[in-house]
Amino acid sequence: MLGVLGVVYGDIGTSPLYAFKASLSYFRDRAVTQVEVLGILSLIFWSLILIVTVKYVLLVMRADNKGEGGILALMALAQRVAVGPRVRHFLGLVGIAGACLFFGDGVITPAISVLSAVEGLEVSAPALQQYVLPISALVIVVLFAVQWRGTGSVGRVFGPVMTVWFVGIGLLGAAEIARHPFVLLAVSPSYAVALCAHYGVLAFLVLGSVVLAVTGAEALYADMGHFGAPAIRIVWLAVVLPSLVLNYFGQGALMISDPSAAANPFYLLAPDWLRLPFVVLATVATVIASQAVISGAYSMTRQALQLGLLPRMAIRHTSSREEGQIYVPQVNTLLAIGVLVLVGVFRTSDNLASAYGIAVTGTFLCTGVLAMVVFRRQYHWSRAAAISVFGALFLMDLVFFASNSLKVIEGGWVPLILGLALMALMTSWKQGRDLLFARWKQDSLPLASFLARLPQSRTVRVPGLAVFLTGNPDYVPAALLHNLKHNKVLHERVLFVTVTNLDEPEAGAANRTSVEEMAPGIYRVTLRYGFSESPNIPRALEDLRERGVPFDPMQASYFLGREVIVPAMVPRMPLWRLWLFLVLARNATPATEFFRIPSDRVVELGVRIAI
C-alpha cells in the first residue's frame, strides 16, 4: 500500500496545488462569496466521487486484461470481444487516440506540477519570485537526467514521502474546517446545481478547471498490473479521498473567511513557519507525481511497440528482478524537451491549466467507450444497463471535455497537436507495416514448396546452426534465399524463428515457445510475447534444449534481412503517410538491439522492397 501511495496517487495527490485556485480564477473580477466557494467545492467533491470512485475504482478497474490495466490493454480486450472488423478497427482508433492523449498528459503533468510547487516560493519568500522559472527548469532537468538509473532505488522513499504529504494536506484542511465547519455543506450537490444555475456559461467554463482535481485518475487503472486492484481501492477510499476532500474543503473555508487568500489558497492554509518546508515537500511530491507519469509513458511505449503501433525503440531494463522497470531513452529525451518548452512558453501553472484539461478529459472519453464494449460483451451486461451507466458517465466526461475545448486558443492546442501528431505517426506506421507485409508475402516462396524441393536441389549443407527471423512462419525468409543465391550453402541445422505479439500482458513460460521439425535439421520456432514484455530471442532459444532441439548459443549465426524501403511507382498510401513511415523506418532501433541478439553473431542481407 505504501507503493500504491508513492506511484499511483502522485498525480491526483498534487492536484490541490492548483485545481481550486484555477477554479477560483474565473471569479477574480467580482467579490467571491459563499455561493461561489461552496459551488466549486461541491463540483470538485462530486467529480471525485463520480469520475474517480464510481467510474474508475468501482467499474473500469474490473476490466483487467489478465491483471494488466491501461487504455491499450483495455483496447486489446475490447477488440477481442468486439463483433466485426469495422468495429474492431474503430475501437483500435479509439484506443490509439486515448494513448496519444496520455502521452500529451505525460508532457504537461511534470510541467504544471513542478511549476505549481515551486510557485509556493512567491508566498513563503516573495523575494525569490524571479527564481521560480530557473528552479523549475533545474528540477525538471535533474528529474529526466536520472531516469536511466530506474525507479527501484528512488521508489523506496516514494511511499513514505507521499504518506507524509497526504497526512499533511489532510491535517491542514481539517484544522481550517474546524474553524469554519459550515463549509461541509458543500457535500450537498445542490450547491453545484445552484452555481451552474446562477452563472450559466461562466459555470460551464469553471468545469474546465474543476476537472484538474481528477487528473491522474487514469493512473489508477494503468498501474493496476503492478499493485493489484484491491490495494489501489483500499488506499483510495481510506487515505487519498479523505485527504483530498479535507484539503479542498479547508481551502474553501479559508477563502470564505479571508477572500485575499485567492492568491494561493493551498500554501496560505499553512502557518508562516511551515510554508517553506511545505514548498520543499510539495516539490518532492510533484517530482514523484511526474515520475509516475514518466514511467507510465515508458510502459505505454512498450505496449505500443508490441502491438505494432510504433517502430522498434531501445528498451533498457533498470532492474534485474522487476520486469516492469524500464527506461526508453528516445521517449525520455522527447519528454524532457517537451516539458522544458512548455515551462518556457507558459511560465505559470495557471496558464498551463488550460492545456491540461483536454488531455485528461479526452482520455476519459476514450476509456469510457472501450469500457462500455467490454462490460457489454465480456461481462454480459444488458444493453440497457451498459448504455445507461456508461452513457451517463460518457455525457459527464463530454461536458468536461466541451468546457476544456473552449480553451484551445489559451493552451488547449498543446495536447491536441501532440495527440494528432502521435496518432498520425502510429496509424502511418501500422498502415505501412501492413502494406510491407502484404508485399513481402506476395514476393515470398511458400515454406512447404521450398522444403519439398530441397532434397532434389543438391544444396550443400555446411556445419553450424543458422537462425532466420521471419514475420510469417509459412514463407521462406528473404535472408535465406539471398544466402542461397550468393553463398550457395545451407547450414546443417536451421531455425525459422517467428516472434508473435499477443493481445495479453504476458505469454507465460508454458506458452512462450512452440517448435516443429519441418525437415531433417530444420525447425520452425514460434516465440510469443505479451504487450507488457520485452523480447529476448537468445534466452528463449536456449530453452529449446529441453525440447530435444540442439541449440548452442556460441555456434548460432543469426541471419537478418535489412529492409531497404523505397516508394513504388504508384504508392499505395498517401505521400505524407509514406514519408512519415520511411522516416520512422530509417530511425527504428535495429532488430539486433531490440531482440537482444549479440551483434557479433549477426549476418545482415539487404532486401529492397517498394510500397
Residue 235: all three cell numbers together: 488506499
Q: What amino acid is encoded at 594 in this protein?
A: F
Q: What is the pLDDT of residues 214-225, one digit of tens each?
A: 988 887 887 776
Q: Assign 155 to helix, strand or coil.
A: helix
Confidence of residue 188 (pLDDT cuts 50, 70, 90): very high
Q: Quote the pLDDT of residue 570.
A: 65
CA dist., res. 72 & res. 514, Å (int): 27
- Of 90-94, 189-193, 204-208, 479-483, where does mean pLDDT reach its minimum? 479-483
Confidence of residue 251 (pLDDT cuts 50, 70, 90): very high
Percentage, residues of the chain above pLDDT 70: 96
CA dist., res. 469 & res. 525, Å (int): 10
Confidence of residue 150 (pLDDT cuts 50, 70, 90): low
Are 216 and 286 within 8 A, CB to CB? Answer: no
Cell 479535507 found at: 246
CA dist., res. 115 & res. 21, Å (int): 14
- Of 86-90, 155-159, 256-260, where does mean pLDDT reach its minimum? 155-159
Are 142 and 112 within 8 A, CB to CB? Answer: no
Are 478 and 607 within 8 A, CB to CB? Answer: yes
Residue 459 has pLDDT above 70, yes or no: yes
Q: Quote the pLDDT of residue 533.
A: 80
Q: What is the pLDDT of residues 410-427, one digit of tens each?
A: 778 888 888 889 999 999
Q: What is the mean pLDDT of residues 381-405?
A: 93
Q: What is the mean pLDDT of residues 156-168?
A: 85
Q: What is the mean pLDDT of residues 182-207?
A: 92
Q: Quote the pLDDT of residue 226.
A: 67
Q: What is the mean pLDDT of residues 355-376?
A: 89
Q: Assign 119 to helix, strand or coil.
A: coil
Q: Specify the DSSP element, H or E, that contains 592.
A: helix 591-594
Please report, to the nearest 10 degrees, the dihedral formed by the alpha carbons of residues 86, 96, 150, 159 taken in order.
-100
Q: Which class for 442: exposed (0-12), middle (13-18), buried (19 or more C-beta within 10 A)? A: exposed
Are 611 and 578 within 8 A, CB to CB? Answer: yes
For 16, phi then psi, to 5°, come to -60, -15
**Sign of the C-alpha dihedral computed for residues 124, 125, 126 and 132 taken in this order:** negative
CA dist., res. 387 & res. 335, Å (int): 37
Residue 51: all three cell numbers together: 469520475
Cell 463530454 found at: 398
CA dist., res. 257 & res. 420, Å (int): 45
Q: What is the mean pLDDT of residues 270-288?
A: 85
Contacts of 393 (CB under 8 A, 6+ apart): 50, 51, 54, 55, 368
Q: What is the mean pLDDT of residues 359-374?
A: 92
Are 249 and 38 within 8 A, CB to CB? Answer: no
Residue 564: all three cell numbers together: 531497404
Q: What is the mean pLDDT of residues 478-490?
A: 85
CA dist., res. 22 & res. 215, Å (int): 14
Q: 119-124: long-range contacts (C-beta < 8 A, 24 or more apart)?
A: 119/264, 119/348, 119/349, 120/264, 120/266, 120/267, 120/275, 120/278, 120/279, 120/282, 121/279, 122/264, 123/263, 123/264, 123/267, 123/268, 123/275, 124/267, 124/272, 124/275, 124/276, 124/278, 124/279
Residue 455: count other Cβ atoms within 10 Å of its Cβ: 10
Residue 87: count other Cβ atoms within 10 Å of its Cβ: 13
Q: What is the pLDDT of residues 61-95, one digit of tens each?
A: 988 777 777 888 899 889 888 888 889 989 999 99
Q: Assign 560 to helix, strand or coil.
A: strand
Q: Assign 518 to helix, strand or coil.
A: strand
Residue 197: all three cell numbers together: 444555475
Residue 370: all three cell numbers together: 472501450
Q: Quote the pLDDT of residue 497.
A: 92
CA dist., res. 546 & res. 543, Å (int): 6
Cα atoms in the Cβ-side hemisphere of radius 13 Å centred on 261: 21
Are 416 and 408 within 8 A, CB to CB? Answer: yes
- CATH 1.20.1740.10-classified regions of the chain: 2-406
Are 578 and 534 within 8 A, CB to CB? Answer: no
Biggest distance spanned by C-alpha atoms of the chain: 95
Q: Report the alpha-carbon angle 285-533-64, nearest 5.
A: 70
Residue 48 has pLDDT above 90, yes or no: yes
Percentage, residues of the chain above pLDDT 90: 27
Confidence of residue 303 (pLDDT cuts 50, 70, 90): confident
Q: In terms of Cα–Cα distance, which of 10, 70, 4, 102 is closest to 290?
A: 10
Confidence of residue 242 (pLDDT cuts 50, 70, 90): very high
End-to-end CA distance of the chain: 52
Residue 356: all three cell numbers together: 491540461
Are 419 and 102 within 8 A, CB to CB? Answer: no
Q: What is the pLDDT of residues 124-144, one digit of tens each?
A: 777 777 888 898 899 889 888
In CATH, which of 3.40.50.720, 1.10.150.120, 1.20.210.10, 1.20.1740.10 is domain 2-406? 1.20.1740.10
For residue 432, what are the CA distances in angstroms to 116, 303, 479, 579? 42, 19, 21, 10
